[in-house]
């Protein structure tokens, strides 16, 4: 099993969409890319911790490739929106890929460059691609939120 970490706006929907994929055994909503340890949702919402709402995916590389996960990531949000996603505004909703090793870093950057060159978007792709430093799982009530409550997310 391998791990991959993505931020694409409100993590409720991101987690839900990754769970649909064959080869993905788990998806955890959490916080990545910030400066404080063990942040709370409220702290992250303030925009002052630097974290993005992120989802850490556990997957079987024999069933689904990292490249396919990255394609799914780009296909299910708008990577041209800077520091927002739909109605959710703030750096905590930025588009980001937090990579776990050099191979992921290279694959994510290549996918972003291909997408940017494809002409699919009129505006620049602003997705941040950086090595993951730490991932903090979010509070329990954020996990499987869409399954429990239905979707309240923009996309
Ligand atoms: N606008 C959404 C964002 C929630 S998501 C966990 C809400 O507050 O319902 O950031």
Q: What is the pLDDT of residues 69-122, one digit of tens each?
A: 999 999 999 999 999 999 999 999 999 999 999 999 999 999 999 999 999 999
Ligand 1 centroid from CA 30, angstroms: 13
Q: What is the pLDDT of residues 30-77, one digit of tens each?
A: 999 999 999 999 999 999 999 999 999 999 999 999 999 999 999 999
pLDDT at 25: 98
Outline where 22-149 has alpha helix (H): 41-45, 66-75, 102-118, 145-149
Nearest CA to ligand 1 atom 6: 10
Q: Which of 57, 62, 5 is nearest to 34 (CA)?
A: 5
Ligand 1 centroid from CA 112, angstroms: 26
Task: Out of 4, 10, 14, 107, pick the active-site residue.
Answer: 10
Of ligand 1's listed atoms, the one at least distance from the Cα of 153 is 2
What is the C-alpha to C-alpha distance for residues 148 and 32, in angstroms, rounded to an integer? Answer: 24
Q: What is the pLDDT of residues 133-150, one digit of tens each?
A: 999 999 999 999 999 998
Q: What is the pLDDT of residues 9-26, one digit of tens each?
A: 999 999 999 999 999 999
Q: Is 45 a catalytic residue?
A: no
Name the DSSP class of 150. Answer: -
What is the C-alpha to C-alpha distance for residues 52 and 49, in angstroms, rounded to an integer? Answer: 9
């Amino acid at each position: 099993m391998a791990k991959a970490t993505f931020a694409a706006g409100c993590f409720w929907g991101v987690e839900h969409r990754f769970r649909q994929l064959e080869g993905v055994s788990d998806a955890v909503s959490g916080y990545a890319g910030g400066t404080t340890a063990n942040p709370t949702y409220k702290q992250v919402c303030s925009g002052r911790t630097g974290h993005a709402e992120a989802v850490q995916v556990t997957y079987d590389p024999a069933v689904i490739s990292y490249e396919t996960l990255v394609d799914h990531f780009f296909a299910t949000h708008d990577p041209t929106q800077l520091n927002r996603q739909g109605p959710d505004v703030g750096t905590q909703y930025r588009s980001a890929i937090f990579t776990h090793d050099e191979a992921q870093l290279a694959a994510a950057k290549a996918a972003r460059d291909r997408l940017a060159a494809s002409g699919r978007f009129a505006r620049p792709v602003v997705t941040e691609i950086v090595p993951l430093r730490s991932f903090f799982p979010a509070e329990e009530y954020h996990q499987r939120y869409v399954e429990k409550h239905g979707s309240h997310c923009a996309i």
